[in-house]
Amino acid sequence: MQDAVKNNGKVRTAPDFLNTDFYVNRELSWIYFNQRVLEEALDPDAHPLLERVKFISIFSSNLDEYFMIRVAGIEDQYEAGIHDRTIDGLTPAEQLEKIRIMVLQQLKQRNDCFYKDLQPALKLEGVEFLQFYSLPPDQQESLRHYFRQEIYPVLTPLAFDTGHPFPFMSNLSLNLAIELEDEQTKVLKFARVKVPSILPRLLQLNDIEGFTDDGGGIKLLWLEDLIENNLAQLFPRMRIIKSHLFRLIRDADIEIEEDEAGDLLETIEQGLRSRRYGKVVRLDVSPAMPLSIRKLLMKNLEVTSRNVYEIDGQLGLSCLIDLLRLDRPDLKDEPFVPGNPLDEQFGTDIFSAIRSKDQLLHHPYESFQPVVDFINKAAQDPDVLSIKQTLYRIGSNSPVVQALIKAAEAGKQVAVLVELKARFDEENNIVWARSLEDVGAHVVYGLPGLKTHAKLTMVVRREHLKLKRYLHLGTGNYNPVTGKVYTDYSLFTTNEQLANDISELFNALTGYSKHTSYKKLLVSPINTRTKIIEMIEREISWSLKKGSGRIVMKMNALVDVQTIRALYIASHEGVQIDLIVRGICCLKPGIPGVSENIRVISIIGRFLEHSRAYYFYNGGKEELYLGSADLMPRNLDHRVETIFPVFDKELIGEVKSDLELMLRDNVKAWIMKPDGLFSKIVNDAPKINSQAIFLAKSVLKKNHLKIK
């Protein structure tokens, strides 16, 4: 079907904007993104050594989650005999085939980088990975003693024969498949030993009593290496023929029938337990594993060769993130302390700071501490009557939750929406929900069928015999830890129109309100897509009238077909569109007659680009929205999300300047090509690393405020 596009009152024929050739497969686009993450490790000039190792870990962790959730879902479709094609024209079977080919290539790249580049480079810097068999006898003996004292008691060898059923193996577990022979009967046996996840995967030998080494530096040994070389202690009077590492990944997507759940908290807890038992979607094995052992595992884990991945070296490298704990600051990013402009200008009176004008913080370049201070101050202030807040991912030992607990204990009205369905944060959130309930806070778990992803806090304070509402609206979570490494925006305001909208939204979240008319706030699943597309269409009108249509959008992912189609039409009508998309992007830029006016870049650097910003030139009456929502069906249709306007012209200018700087980045930015692939931006312009510039600016601003 072709679209009819109006041009100065005339109707002309436009391309079929739903042509499969104009779209990138969602799952493959994610793999392209993870490749960009991997490239941060591959580039010898990108980061200090241990930071490059960190990106190996992030790549590996990302890939595990991708299989647990996304690949597991495609496997379900494939096994159900579904042949429906995605917007780009691929069936489930075709997607699985392409994913396997690409992932195997990436795993080889990762391992070549780690073993052939990073390990030798670390050794030159005094950080050495050792192998048990290469150690002198006295050091081996020290490690055998350590094994007996500290590791042996934790291990549980499990036999597999007619009297012993095949042992259960949990998600992400690392295991040893062991071939044995009974020394008396000469009968061959099979056993499994799990490498315990409660112990450090990388042993720092310098800390082990009795291990002496005069060479200096840091010596590391893989835990499974030590276990493999001491299996005789687990199997006396048995001959160890050979042991083989393997690792499995299970489907970890919890399915919840909320309509049938009597208690959502208990249902989530049951789902967490069932996550350990999900079907196996990937089985990692070493190439040396004999076919007989491989077939035994495949049969009992119920997988096919499609699910088996041969990987040289160690399995499961996400644990390498632990190397950042090493006391080697010379091999890490230079630390920095972000400025706290609100504290430096207004001291501890954060309410005065917000009353004076809307305040916008850009994390992590500006401290996340004012967000924590805002909640703490509200909890302590006798004039504060109530606090309402949404919590999605808050981490452990949360100071925000501790402040809310104190507020409830002080008799304030505290209403908290704790999103129990925040994937992989469910256990933390259950703990916090119960802690808040124990002190009398009003705790709700969200709306049936929807995750609440919005980042909102409203504090009601009595001032001069009237009530005043203070708001914090963010693009990121209420988590001070991620606040140091995720780029996000925080807006503090007392704007009455926003306060009215947010009051209505909290009523909808905690009660039975069916309010759907928000004046300033964009709220999913009610009006976000509609409003975004309306603003895109408004830019088309400006482009047709004055040739001045301009859109800049920054997000984590762009998947929604309706929004992409609207952007294609806008490009076709001359609107200049710049998209900063960190991860998945199903839109293809630069297609003649379709998207030649669209440019897509992705920035991968020291910090995770997490903020969402939507800018529209609007004929010179600029509009800017920030918020929690990416342009994906899940964010627009299946979550409670908020995108909020920034009214202050100075703040609009600041964010616009931030976006323009990112668009000039030619160090950490990748540009998307019409085929959906990315390449590093290479030009003759002076080198611009946007994150490094933001860091430098934050230091200058902090020093300037201190001088004042």
Instruction: Record the tokens describing residue 110, joined without a space.
Output: 């990762």
Catalytic residue among 453, 472, 572, 610: 453
**What's the number of CA atoms in the CB half-sphere (13 Å) around residue 682?**
3
Q: Among 332, 493, 307, which Cα is nearest to 501's? A: 493
pLDDT of residue 708: 47
* 3-class DSSP string for 540-593: HHHHHHHCCCEEEEEECCECCHHHHHHHHHHHHCCCEEEEEECCCECECCCCCC
Where do the structural domains in the chain lie, given as residue ranges?
126-331, 341-517, 523-707
How crowded is residue 173: how many other Cβ atoms within 10 Å of its Cβ?
A: 19
SS3 407: helix
Output the pTM of the full model.
Answer: 0.92
Fold of the 341-517 domain: Endonuclease; Chain A (3.30.870)
pLDDT of residue 262: 47
To the query of whether residue 453 is one of the catalytic residues in this protein, the response is yes
pLDDT of residue 252: 84
Distance of CA 534 to the CA centre of its chain: 30
SS3 286: coil
How crowded is residue 463: how many other Cβ atoms within 10 Å of its Cβ?
A: 11
Contact partners, residue 286, CB within 8 Å, separation at least 6: 244, 245, 246, 310, 311, 312, 315
> For domain 523-707, which architecture applies?
2-Layer Sandwich (3.30)
Beta bridge partners of 363: 488
164 secondary structure, DSSP code: B
**40, exposed or middle or buried, with CB in 10 Å at 0-12, 13-18, 19+?**
buried
Fold of the 126-331 domain: polyphosphate kinase like (3.30.1840)
Query: How far is it, in rounded angstroms, from Cα 602 to Cα 33?
Result: 9
Query: How far is it, in rounded angstroms, from Cα 47 to Cα 160?
Result: 47
For range 197-218, the mean pLDDT: 85
pLDDT of residue 256: 47
Reported as type and span, the H/E element at residue 700 is helix 690-707
Residue with tokens 């055998």: 144
Is the pLDDT at 701 greater than 50? The verdict is: yes
pLDDT of residue 162: 66
Q: Among 264, 637, 256, which Cα is nearest to 453's? A: 637
CA 41, 44, 47, 51 dihedral sign is positive
Complete edge-to-edge strand list for the sheet that includes strand 218-222: 127-130, 218-222, 202-204
Q: CA 308 → CA 301, 304, 620, distances in Å?
A: 11, 7, 56
DSSP per residue, 198-250: TS-SEEEGGGSTT---TT-SEEEEEHHHHHHTTGGGTSTTEEEEEEEEEEEEE
Indicate if 341-517 has the same CATH topology as 126-331: no
List pLDDT tens digits, range 618-677. 999 999 999 999 999 999 999 999 999 999 999 999 999 999 999 999 999 999 999 999
Query: How far is it, in rounded angstroms, from Cα 420 to Cα 392?
Result: 8
List pLDDT tens digits, range 554-579. 999 999 999 999 999 999 999 999 99
Query: How far is it, in rounded angstroms, from Cα 667 to Cα 694?
Result: 14
Is the pLDDT at 12 greater than 70? The verdict is: no
Residue with tokens 């190792």: 53
Q: What are phi and psi of 4, to 5 degrees?
A: -95, 120
Q: What is the mean pLDDT of the chain?
A: 91
Beta bridge partners of 220: 129, 204
List pLDDT tens digits, range 85-104. 999 999 999 999 999 999 99
Instruction: Record the tokens describing residue 634, joined without a space.
Output: 């899940």
Is the pLDDT at 434 greater than 90? The verdict is: no
